[in-house]
Amino acid sequence: MLSQMRAEDQGSRVMDDTSGRVLIVMWDREGLDSVVDATQLDQDNIWNILSDNGQTVDKVDSVLMRLRFRARFNSHRCCEIYAINVDEAITGDDIGDWFEANPQGAADLIRSRGTRLLSQRSREARVVIT
């Protein structure tokens, strides 16, 4: 499933490297919004199916749908959603710490190394009033 995840805006770019962990990161003008561990969601679903306990966990597609829905109804916040492969040692809390310490640097790093799933990034030049 994770190796087949395609970017909505970049149909030809596929996440091929499934080593480590896949995180889905959503942020906007106001900062980091969500970090979802897609690898853990898939693993939980597989174990629940195998154990036949009847419980299911949200699938990655369902989570992505909710994040996109949230972004589209808050378009004034210019949301961005990316999927990124990271080492097993990196968690969602680490991503949160990166955004607290250096929001622009974290966003630029994820943009350069991640797969864009949705971007409403504002391209307007800033107007400086003097």
pLDDT digits (tens, 9 = 90+) for 23-60: 999 998 888 988 988 887 766 666 666 666 665 656 77
Report residue 97's pLDDT band, with 50, 70 and 90 as the boundaries. very high
Report residue 103's pLDDT band, with 50, 70 and 90 as the boundaries. very high
Report residue 117's pLDDT band, with 50, 70 and 90 as the boundaries. confident
Helix (H) or strand (E) holding 63: helix 60-73
Q: pLDDT > 70: what percent of the chain?
A: 66
Distance between CA atoms of residues 122 and 76, nearest Å: 10
Closest CA to 63 of 125, 127, 2, 130: 2
* Structure confidence at residue 19 (pLDDT): 67
| pLDDT mean over 74-103 | 89
Q: Are 36 and 108 in contact (CB under 8 A)?
A: no
Tokens of 4: 């087949």
**CB half-sphere exposure, 52, CA atoms < 13 A:** 0
Report residue 14's pLDDT band, with 50, 70 and 90 as the boundaries. very low
Helical pair 60-73 and 38-51, crossing angle rounded to 10 deg: 140
